[in-house]
Amino acid sequence: MSTVQEARAKLGEHFGVGGSGKPDRWEALWADGSFIPWDRGLPNPALEDLLKDRQDLIGIPKEASDTAGKRKKAFVPGCGKGYDVLLLSSFGYDAVGLEVSETALKRCLEERDKHGDKYAVRDASLGAGKSNFVAGDFFSNEWTGSAGAEQFDLIYDYTFLCALPPSMRHQWALRMSHLLAPDGHLICLEFPLSKNPNLGGPPFGLQSKVYVQHLAQPGLDIPYNAEGYIPEGVTYPDNPAALKRAAHWQPARTHEIGKDQDWISVWHR
Ligand code: SAH
Q: What is the 3-state secondary structure (H, E, C) of 55-96?
A: HHHHCCCCCCCCCCCCCCEEEEECCCCCHHHHHHHHCCCEEE
Distances from the Cα of 120 to the Cα of 116, 162, 222, 224, angstroms: 7, 30, 43, 44
Q: Residue 65: give the domain boundaries.
A: 3-268
CA distance 191 to 101: 22
Give me the CATH number covering residue 179: 3.40.50.150
pLDDT of res. 98: 98
137 lines ligand 1 (CB under 6 A): yes
pLDDT of res. 240: 92
- Beta bridge mates, 190: 263
Of 75, 87, 79, nearest to 51 by C-alpha is 87
CA distance 74 to 69: 15
Kindly calculate the radius of gyration of the chain based on its CA atoms and give it in whole angstroms.
Answer: 18
179 lines ligand 1 (CB under 6 A): no
Phi, psi of 73 (to 5 degrees): -100, 130
Tens of pLDDT along the chain (269 residues) come to 789 999 999 999 999 999 999 999 999 999 999 999 999 999 999 999 999 999 999 999 998 777 777 899 999 999 999 999 999 999 999 999 999 999 999 999 999 999 999 999 999 999 999 999 999 999 999 999 876 689 999 999 999 999 999 999 999 999 999 999 999 999 999 999 999 999 999 999 999 999 999 999 999 999 999 999 999 988 888 999 999 999 999 999 999 999 999 999 999 99
pTM for the model: 0.97
If you measure from the C-alpha of residue 160 to the centroid of ligand 1, how many angstroms do you get, rounded to a whole number? Answer: 6
Identify the residue whose C-alpha is closest to ligand 1 atom 18.
78
If you measure from the C-alpha of residue 125 to the centroid of ligand 1, how many angstroms do you get, rounded to a whole number? Answer: 33
If you measure from the C-alpha of residue 237 to the centroid of ligand 1, how many angstroms do you get, rounded to a whole number? Answer: 32
Of 85, 76, 78, nearest to 116 by C-alpha is 85
Phi-psi domain of 159 (left: phi exceeds 0; alpha: psi -120 through 50; beta: other): left
Per the structure, the count of domains in the chain is: 1
pLDDT of res. 107: 98
The CA angle 39-43-48, to the nearest 5 degrees, is 155
pLDDT of res. 266: 98
Ligand 1 atom closest to Cα of 78? 11
pLDDT of res. 176: 97
Which of 14, 26, 83, 87 to mutate for ligand 1's pocket (most ligand atoms within 8 Å of CB)?
A: 26
Of 133, 115, 93, nearest to 41 by C-alpha is 115
